[in-house]
Structure 1
Amino acid sequence: MRIALVSVGLAAAVLLSACASNPQATDEVQDVQFFARNTDSMMHHEPKRSRNLQSDNPMQINQVGETWGLRKDREKVYEAVDTLEGVKVRRVIFNKDVVRVRVTVDEDIKSNDERMVTTQNIKTAIQRALPRYNIRVKIVD
């Protein structure tokens, strides 16, 4: 009986000492307190005092400008396709370095060879405007 009490007491002492000296737990508490202060200051529109969280990232919501949503690149795709007669852009999707463009063509394409030539002409026009992207073109009916 005495051995059981001593072993339980030692286990409790080890557990308490391990929890008391956990530096990560204090860091987490500080992070929570920091988040609470910043959330509170954002609600009252007060300037942030404790840390400077600004960066030079142009994609931040407070620095939208012309870069948000790749607006200029999308406009270049539309302008490049507008140079081709009878072709209209239906959708432009950017995914990392790939641009997927869906287009409609006014003329009736009957063979696969005509479809491939038309697709290649559209792809070349877009590639001239945006050489840094891999272009994927799909003709939809």
Structure 2
Amino acid sequence: PGSGADAAMQARKADVVDAALAFHGGHLGDPLEALRRVGGREFAAIAGAILAARMQKIPVLLDGLAATAAAAVLHGVNPTALEHCLLASLSPEPAHARAAQRLGLRPLLDLDISHGEGAGAALAAGLVKAAALTSSGMAAAVRG
């Protein structure tokens, strides 16, 4: 697990996580407190963007483990907070599949890529747009 991480790097990552859990463990029951203590500013920014999109009724394509982890914070606060979100694709990281399952999100695409940089979302956006156009066209046909 981890982009190109060798055994030594994985062991170091596990040690860092263990240390963080030992230090902050008693405070991680609240999703927002967990975000504050161990999430990092990038996770807070992603969570804020997802929440702002919800307030504006803008759909969100989640792409990658980091975006899914940030979304998990909002889901922990309110299980309906992600109703405007779709999961573009899954990374090969085992944690990504587990997180998506816990959030009730199924990927739109099964690409088995680890590129990141929004590649899954860029490809899924076309699929979502086509589905919306098809749906609106069908609704117009039913009305007409």
Q: Tell me if both proteins adopt one fold, taking TM over 0.5 as the criterion.
A: no
TM-score, scaled relative to structure 1:
0.28
Relative CO higher for 1 or 2, CA cutoff 8 Å, sep ≥ 6? 2
User: What TM-score results when the alignment is normalised by the length of structure 2?
Assistant: 0.28
Higher normalized strand content (fraction of residues): 1
Q: Which structure's CA Rg is the greater one?
A: 1
Of Structure 1 and Structure 2, which has the larger fraction of its residues in helix?
A: 2
